[in-house]
Amino acid sequence: MIRRYISHIPARHFKIVRYYGFLSNRKRRVLLSKVYKALEMTARKKPEKPGFAVLMKGFLRTDPYKCILCGDRLFFTSAQAGKQAMKLLSERLDNLEKKRGLLS
């Protein structure tokens, strides 16, 4: 009885084939579509990964692309690593004041 169970244990460095037939890696794309047609099924589409903005809205309940000063929509142009938010905000306000002074 134990010999039957032991016979199913592979040798130490034996490579086991996990998928074969229409699930094999080489033929999966071609043959799986034929299997779906034969069974009159539709192929499942991969779910889309949520982006940064969707995750921020879900967790923090705030829109990361909404300006905290004026409420307009922000457009991402670049990122600066290592600077704190308050410092970036003060630099932005200074730049806006300089532009307003030049326009007046």
Computed over every residue of the chain, the mean pLDDT equals 82
Question: pLDDT digit string (tens) for 34-76?
Answer: 888 999 988 888 888 888 788 888 888 888 888 888 888 888 7
* pLDDT for the residue numbered 29: 83
* pLDDT for the residue numbered 103: 66
* pLDDT for the residue numbered 42: 87
Q: Count Cβ atoms within 10 A of the Cβ of residue 80 and give its class: 0-12 exposed, 13-18 middle, 19 or more buried.
A: exposed
Domain of residue 96: give its range.
Answer: 52-103
Query: Which residue is associated with the tokens 């306000």?
Result: 93
58 and 30 fall within a common domain = no
Alpha carbons 69 and 92: distance in angstroms, whole number: 11
Asked whether 22 and 35 are in contact (CB, 8 A), the reply is: yes
34 and 56 fall within a common domain = no
47 within domain boundaries: no
* pLDDT for the residue numbered 38: 92
User: Domains in the chain: how many in total?
Assistant: 2
The residue that leads in pLDDT, 90 or 103, is 90
46 within domain boundaries: no
* pLDDT for the residue numbered 45: 83
19 and 60 fall within a common domain = no
17 and 57 fall within a common domain = no
